[in-house]
Amino acid sequence: MTAWLSLAAVTAPSPDSGAHLVLALAAILTAAKLGGHLAERLGQPAVLGELLGGVLLGNLDLAGIAWFRDLPNDPALAGLAGLGAVVLLFEVGLASTIEEMRQVGWRSLIVAVLGVATPWVLGYLVGRVMLPNHSVYAHLFLGATLTATSVGITARVLRDLGRSQSAEARIILGAAVIDDVLGLVILAVVGSLITAANAHTEASLASVGLVLGKALAFLFGSLWLGSRLSPQLFGLTARLRGGSLLLVTALIFCFLLAAVAASIGLAPIVGAFAAGLVLERVHYRDFSVRGERPLEELVQPVSGFLVPIFFVVMGLKVELAGLFNGDQLALTGLLVLAAIAGKQACALGGLGAQLDRLSIGIGMIPRGEVGLIFANMGLALTINGERIVDPALYSTVVIMVLVTTVVTPPALQWSLGRSGGRSGRGAEGQ
């Protein structure tokens, strides 16, 4: 791969020459932007178009063009896509503060727990019925892909409908954030069960408890310690000379917490998310005083470049050819039903006389980045040589994500319209 920029690679094109990577990026970013545009034209979130753009490119092998199908195997591109997921979760974390998380409080927690447990159980049951030859771990993993609501997609839909400031919106967004955390904890637990099974050691209740404890200790520990260290770190780097110091210090902080999370058995994205939650504007006021732009604005171009790569690469891995047989279609249909029905349990948590419970249940439907990240990890996990998520199952999960994303905007528009102005329209519009 030092052949990256080599001339020799041009006369004898090889899959890992620099020409290959820049061409792949040009194609992927074009697909992302055209797909995103079409999706938004149709009243859908851009992420849907990015995924579908990837699905389209990846399945051009049906038309004889196999080049795109192999792209996800390119290590440089896989690395960029992985960084895209890390930067995305960092950005999602940046958008909320620990204080906000604390304020949404018990109500969101109840909604979140109901909305995580129910789809997990339903997804597990769908796996058990439809995939009897897969291991129990595959069933648990399939259920886990249904747990996390996509904060990004939900927030986007609520904003586009001008309802970001309603009570329902605050509960939904709070629950979606807690969702992510619970989903990541579930992932850590299921992952440790699989590791234990691979090592032929019995996964005792104690070992599950240990993972759960480590995950919670990391989250609370990194939030507690991080919010104390972060002001020091930025105070120190504000005294350094050089360019891009605010952005690069923030990225170092994000990558370090991602590495710590990984080193104790959690996914790197958990650390990235925690880093984003910890960082608050007041920590880097020394930079703001100098007139530097806020961190969100500096991260935005980096994520604008990397995040679409992640979604298009996720789409590239979907194999449509395998989907069109009875069993696979039935599995996909049941999984979508489990995903939608499972989140309606959230409505039960929407206590309080004035709340539009139906809208809360519908608002929790969209699955997104976290479900995709889970499915992507499952592709790499094996148990006794059997893949936890095989390519067909991966494609099913992506279709589930696509369908839940497509149905939410019109459904939410209808249900919020039905409840009328019950909980004051927000001012944002557009």
Q: Which of residues 82-121 bind its own copies (CB under 8 A)?
A: 82-83, 85-86
Q: Hunting for tokens 């109840």 — which residue is that?
A: 110
First to last CA, the chain: 46
- Cβ neighbours around 49 below 10 Å, total: 26
Q: How far is the CB of 327 from its own copies (least distance, A)?
A: 25
DSSP 307: H
Q: How far is the CB of 107 from its own copies (least distance, A)?
A: 31
Which residues pair with residue 387 across a beta bridge?
382
Identify which of residues 91 and 168 has a Cβ nearer to its own copies in the complex.
Answer: 91
Instruction: State yes or no: residue 81 binds its own copies (CB under 8 A).
Output: yes
Which structure tokens are listed for 77?
């591109």
CA gap 154, 151 in Å, rounded: 5
Q: How far is the CB of 241 from its own copies (least distance, A)?
A: 4
Query: Which member of 76, 117, 121, 320 binds its own copies (CB under 8 A)?
Result: 76
Per the CB < 8 A criterion, the answer to whether 387 and 379 are in contact is yes
Instruction: State yes or no: residue 230 binds its own copies (CB under 8 A).
Output: no
Which conformational region is residue 162 in: left (phi greater than 0), alpha (psi within -120 to 50 degrees), or beta? left
Query: Which member of 4, 220, 224, 414 binds its own copies (CB under 8 A)?
Result: 4
Per the CB < 8 A criterion, the answer to whether 74 and 20 are in contact is yes
Q: What residues from 363 to 382 belong to the interface with its own copies (CB under 8 A)?
A: 373, 376-377, 379-382
Q: What residues from 7 to 66 belong to the interface with its own copies (CB under 8 A)?
A: 7-11, 16-19, 21-23, 25-26, 29-30, 32-34, 36-37, 40-41, 46
Q: How far is the CB of 135 from its own copies (least distance, A)?
A: 15
Of 93, 124, 274, 276, nearest in space to 186 by CA: 124
Size of the site for its own copies (CB under 8 A): 90
Q: What residues from 303 to 362 belong to the interface with its own copies (CB under 8 A)?
A: 304-305, 308
Q: What is the dihedral of CA 154, 168, 270, 268, to 10 degrees?
A: 0
Which residues pair with residue 383 across a beta bridge?
386
Identify which of residues 258 and 411 has a Cβ nearer to its own copies in the complex.
Answer: 258
Identify which of residues 10 and 329 has a Cβ nearer to its own copies in the complex.
Answer: 10
Instruction: State yes or no: residue 232 binds its own copies (CB under 8 A).
Output: no
Q: How far is the CB of 18 from its own copies (least distance, A)?
A: 5
Per the CB < 8 A criterion, the answer to whether 357 and 170 are in contact is no
Identify which of residues 185 and 358 has a Cβ nearer to its own copies in the complex.
Answer: 185
Identify which of residues 248 and 351 has a Cβ nearer to its own copies in the complex.
Answer: 248
* Burial of 240 (C-beta count, 10 Å sphere; 0-12/13-18/19+): exposed
Range in contact with its own copies (rule: CB under 8 A) among 74-82, 107-115, 175-183, 223-231: 74-82
* Burial of 39 (C-beta count, 10 Å sphere; 0-12/13-18/19+): buried
Binding-site string for its own copies from residue 377 to residue 406, where x marks contact by CB under 8 A and - marks none? x-xxxx------------------------
CA gap 411, 395 in Å, rounded: 24
Q: How far is the CB of 75 from its own copies (least distance, A)?
A: 4
Binding-site string for its own copies from residue 236 to residue 275, where x marks contact by CB under 8 A and - marks none? -x--xxxxxx-xxx-xx--xx-xx--xxxxxxxx------
Range in contact with its own copies (rule: CB under 8 A) among 129-137, 187-195, 284-292, 411-419: 187-195
Q: How far is the CB of 162 from its own copies (least distance, A)?
A: 18
97 CB-near residues (< 8 Å, 6+ apart): 277, 280
3-state SS assignment for residue 398: helix
